[in-house]
Amino acid sequence: MNQPIYKIGAIVRPKSPELKDSCVEIFRILADSGIEVWCERESSCMLGLQGGVGFEEILDSADAILSIGGDGTLISAVRKSIGSNLPIFGINMGSLGFLTAIKPNEVASFASLLVSGGYKLDFHRMLEARFVDSSEKFYALNEVFITKNNHCA
């Protein structure tokens, strides 16, 4: 058995205000299961919701991180939370999701697993990359893309 999860920090796919109703319903289902949900400040503002918190506060106080969107949103959450050791799970709001395994209609049953500790953790290895002439490190969950063009600008 795992530790029960009672506090979740939520991150929502950027530039997706159309997810507001779905997010409100997901947050309600989690709250009805006894899980406190803190929506990350940028996500909260984008959705037009009150009470968003900073990501650092989520890292300091939450039991887990919830990603609502697709695999890209989940990968971004993983990258932002490196070193926190918080479990991260994703609710897939699109049609295809390899890393975001939970569908919106499965939230209630998954919430009961969270509060009982009956969920299963999968551990993934992270890739760390850096240029030989630099101390700056880059982290990736599934791939590192090397090109001669500067795609980061």
Residues belonging to the active site: 71
Query: What are phi and psi for residue 68, nearest 5 degrees?
Result: -115, 115
Provide the sign of the torsion angle of the four alpha carbons 76, 77, 80, 84, taken in this order: negative
Radius of gyration of the chain (CA): 16
Q: Which two tokens stand for residue 15?
A: 């530039």
Long-range contacts of 22-29 (CB under 8 A, 24+ apart): 22/68, 22/93, 22/104, 23/47, 23/49, 23/68, 24/49, 25/104, 26/66, 26/68, 26/91, 26/104, 26/107, 29/107, 29/108, 29/111
